[in-house]
Amino acid sequence: MKLSLGFSPCPNDTFIFDALIHHKIDTEGLEFEVFFDDVETLNQKALRSELDITKLSFHAFAHVAEKYALLDAGSALGFGVGPLLICKNEDLIGSERLTQKDSTLSVAIPGELTTANFLLGIAFPNLLNKQVMVFSEIQDALLNQRIDLGLIIHENRFTYTEKGLHKIVDLGSYWEELTGCAIPLGGIVINRKLDHGIQLKVNRLIRKSVEFAFQNPKSGIDFIAAHAQEMEEAVMYKHIDLYVNKYSVDLGIEGRKAIDILFKMAREKGIIPEINQTLYVTN
């Protein structure tokens, strides 16, 4: 049986899925047709139900929970891993312009349905002049002064200071202080139309793929590097260390609690709809 599978070319995802798609583990008769896309493209594909299995932002998951269920394996949650709001103009750090009503500051975001944008809305509800950009283009837009602020994710966390850009706030730290929980960034969901046994099998295989990667961290280096936008190996593994952890093996009670709090807060603010389905694939 062949299933369509979407994930990003970022090192954390390629690290997680290398063993699965290259048959370094027994895939129990399943084959996977892989689609590499940035997170917002994957979010939009999920809205259209294009893929059997896909990585997506937890914010986006709230809008497709009727169609997809969340797997316990493969997610990106953690402490110190949140999006950063950055700028070129240091005068904006701590500026009243960030919080004033009808703020005219322009901010580039990596997607309307990203968890990053959701957190921005909680922390800075008056920053409404938003422009959607591919995450890898945001720093250049700041440097070229096409925007005032940038909301960065993924490996850009490690490179912005080298370009002379400045941090305004770490939204991950903001979330952690607010809730005491790990920040849920992205998860792996599977189409509810698939047989429940297939759903459980896919969850089991992704978990095995993550465990294989942890046990053989250099096994997928060529595959990871091929998709890492000329990133240095040290930066690639810093990225992996930040986003791949125990929650990637299994959400567990703590991981599910963090997601439930995120969704509860979002519903209370009217950001996401009520969800009438069980969120998770259960045994």
88 with 151, same domain? yes
In a domain, 274, yes or no: no
Q: Classify residue 59: in a domain, yes or no.
A: yes
**Which of 142, 160, 179 is where one domain is finished?**
179
H or E segment at 53? strand 53-57
- So what's the pLDDT on residue 36? 96
Question: Are 197 and 58 contained in the same domain?
Answer: yes
Active site residues: 154
Q: How many CB atoms lie within 10 A of CB 15?
A: 27
User: Which of 151, 179, 207 is the last residue before a domain boundary?
Assistant: 179
Question: Between 11-21 and 196-215, two packed helices, what is the crossing angle to 10 degrees?
Answer: 110
Per-residue confidence (pLDDT) for residue 53, from 0 to 100: 98
What is the distance between the alpha carbons of residues 66 and 127, in angstroms, rounded to a whole number? Answer: 30
Domain that holds residue 157: 84-179
Query: Which parts of the chain have pLDDT scores under 70?
Result: 155, 230
Kindly report the average pLDDT of the chain as a whole number.
Answer: 92
Q: What is the pLDDT of residue 230?
A: 62
Burial class (CB in 10 A: 0-12, 13-18, 19+), 197: exposed
Q: Binding-site residues for substrate, please?
A: 55-57, 115-116
Give the domain-ending residue among 132, 149, 179: 179
Domain annotation covers residue 279: no
What is the per-residue pLDDT for 272?
A: 81
Written in H, E and C, the secondary structure of 77-120 is: EECCCCCEEEECCHHHCCCHHHCCCCCCCEEEECCCCCHHHHHH
Question: Quick one: 174 and 201 in the same domain?
Answer: no
Q: What is the pLDDT of residues 161-175, one digit of tens each?
A: 999 999 999 998 999
Q: Each residue of 183-209: pLDDT tens digit? A: 998 999 999 999 999 999 999 999 999
Q: Are strands 53-57 and 149-152 parallel, antiparallel or unpaired?
A: unpaired
Q: Is the domain of 211 the same as that of 99?
A: no
Instruction: Note whether 131 and 200 are same-domain residues.
Output: no
DSSP for residue 195: -
pLDDT for res 121? 86
Domain CATH for 129: 3.40.190.10
Total tally of structural domains belonging to the chain: 2
